[in-house]
């Protein structure tokens, strides 16, 4: 049977999730692969590879093969995907398997082809179906798309923010902004450099983002460790919430503008569904403290943070396996 052992995959810029039909969510790891340049072999994938990022071990090159939601390094993506599928127990067997894979709504034809190519470079035979990430997000956010229900979703990932009105498994209006969690990290890194004279790793920036966000967190500051930019020695610093909120301002404004653009363009027939269902905020970036409230002010209608936002897209894609 074609559906036995079918997989739904959210191949994200930061995280990859694999769902196997009949077994559920079996893998959830960073989209990363470490290559040993001395031997040309794969040293690690996923969590183990990502843990080496920024640490520069000898001969090891850590690659995050997706950028802005799309494949930037095809060979590395194919290797990583193969490793993830093997780990998920989704390789082998006599059957041709179905794979539903999410791509950003704004992905070009070439970018879509490269996702199919990433499956094709290995022996296993896959029937790959691409699904627009916002449609999967809407299904995962609880909209009953099979019944023709419409909805409005904002998925803030690592590389892209997908803003879309959808109805009946199709996009109605959408914009894909190539700016999300990674852009927030970069903004914090650059503010720490200019405001505090500190060099932060992406890991440190992510912690500050999650702890302080737009609200400054419970204390109004958070401790971080980085390098002093002048002396190049480790330094511990209390980072004020204002510095982080200020750094995040432009990214959050761009997300807000995108929401306004899409919202102001929906057909009249969808207005009631959107108001009733409210704007549903998903993706890891949705967890940014204060983001839902900020977008609520911009949208003028309620914005709800969906349950388990990091898994919304794969949940929706899994639903498509059964649709």
Q: Does 83 bind Mg ion (CB under 5 A)?
A: no
Degrees (nearest 5) of the Cα angle 188, 193, 195? Answer: 85
Q: Does 305 bind ligand ATP (CB under 6 A)?
A: no
State which residue has the least CB distance to ligand ATP.
181
Of 150 and 213, nearer to ligand ATP (C-beta) is 213
Q: Which does 216 bind (CB under 5 to 8 A by kind): ligand ATP, Mg ion, none?
A: none
Eight-class DSSP state of 311: G
Q: Does 181 bind ligand ATP (CB under 6 A)?
A: yes
Q: How far apart are CA 224 and CA 208, in angstroms?
A: 7
Shortest distance (Å) from residue 4 CB to ligand ATP: 27
Q: Quick check: helix, strand or coil at residue 309?
A: helix
Q: Note whether 27 and 96 are within 8 A (CB).
A: no
Q: Does 287 bind ligand ATP (CB under 6 A)?
A: yes
Q: Does 177 bind ligand ATP (CB under 6 A)?
A: no
State which residue has the least CB distance to Mg ion.
157
Shortest distance (Å) from residue 120 CB to ligand ATP: 21
Site string for ligand ATP, 89-118 (x = CB under 6 A): ------------------------------
Span near Mg ion by CB under 5 A; candidates 11-19, 46-54, 170-178, 289-297: 11-19
Q: Which does 6 bind (CB under 5 to 8 A by kind): ligand ATP, Mg ion, none?
A: none
Q: How far apart are CA 257 and CA 287, in angstroms?
A: 19
Close Cβ partners of 62 (under 8 Å, ≥ 6 residues apart): 32, 33, 34, 49, 50, 52, 53, 54
Q: Give the closest residue to 48 by CA, choosing from 32, 59, 61.
A: 32
Number of Cβ atoms within 10 Å of the Cβ of 113: 14
Using only C-alpha atoms, the chain has a radius of gyration, in whole angstroms, of: 20
Of the candidate residues 166, 188, 310, 320, the single one contacting ligand ATP (CB under 6 A): 310
Of 159 and 226, nearer to ligand ATP (C-beta) is 159
Of 187 and 317, nearer to Mg ion (C-beta) is 317
Which ranges constitute the DSSP H helices of the chain?
47-50, 74-87, 109-120, 133-140, 181-196, 202-212, 241-263, 268-277, 291-299, 312-322
Number of Cβ atoms within 10 Å of the Cβ of 95: 13
Half-sphere exposure of 262 (CA within 13 A, CB side): 26
Q: Give the closest residue to 266 by CA, choosing from 150, 160, 176, 168.
A: 150
Q: Does 81 bind ligand ATP (CB under 6 A)?
A: no
Of 209 and 315, nearer to ligand ATP (C-beta) is 209
Q: How far apart are CA 250 and CA 184, in angstroms?
A: 9
Of the candidate residues 158, 216, 256, 277, the single one contacting ligand ATP (CB under 6 A): 158
Q: Which does 74 bind (CB under 5 to 8 A by kind): Mg ion, ligand ATP, none?
A: none
Of 17 and 43, nearer to Mg ion (C-beta) is 17
Span near Mg ion by CB under 5 A; candidates 33-41, 149-157, 182-190, 224-232: 149-157
Would you tell me which residues interact with ligand ATP (CB under 6 A)?
Answer: 10, 12-15, 69, 157-160, 180-182, 206, 209-210, 283-285, 287-288, 310
């Amino acid at each position: 049977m074609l559906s036995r052992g079918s997989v739904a995959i959210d191949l994200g810029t930061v995280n990859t999730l694999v769902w196997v039909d009949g077994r559920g969510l079996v893998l959830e790891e960073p989209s990363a692969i470490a290559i040993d340049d001395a031997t040309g072999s794969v040293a690690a994938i996923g969590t183990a590879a990502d843990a080496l990022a920024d640490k520069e071990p000898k001969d090891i090159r850590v690659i995050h093969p997706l950028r802005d939601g799309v494949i930037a390094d095809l060979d590395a993506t194919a290797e990583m995907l193969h490793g993830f599928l093997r780990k998920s127990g989704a390789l082998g067997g006599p059957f041709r398997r179905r794979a539903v894979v999410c791509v950003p709504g704004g992905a070009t034809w070439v970018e879509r082809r490269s996702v199919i190519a990433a499956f094709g470079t290995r022996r296993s035979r896959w029937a790959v179906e691409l699904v627009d990430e916002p449609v999967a997000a809407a299904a995962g956010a609880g909209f009953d798309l099979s019944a023709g229900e419409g909805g409005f979703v904002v998925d803030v990932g690592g590389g892209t923010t997908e803003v879309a009105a959808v109805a009946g498994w199709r996009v109605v209006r959408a914009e894909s902004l190539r700016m999300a969690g990674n852009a927030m990290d970069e903004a914090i890194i650059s503010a720490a450099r200019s405001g505090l004279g500190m060099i932060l790793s992406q890991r440190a920036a992510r912690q500050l983002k999650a702890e302080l966000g737009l609200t400054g967190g419970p204390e109004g500051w958070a401790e971080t460790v980085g390098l002093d930019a002048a002396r190049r020695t480790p330094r511990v610093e209390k980072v004020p919430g204002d510095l982080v909120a200020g750094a995040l301002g432009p990214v959050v404004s761009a997300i807000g503008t995108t929401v306004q653009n899409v919202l102001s363009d929906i057909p009249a027939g969808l207005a009631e569904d959107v108001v009733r269902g409210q704007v549903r905020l998903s993706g890891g970036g949705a967890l940014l403290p204060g983001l839902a409230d900020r977008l609520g002010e911009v949208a003028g209608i309620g914005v709800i943070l969906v349950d388990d936002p990091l898994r919304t897209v794969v949940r929706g894609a899994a639903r498509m396996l059964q649709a």
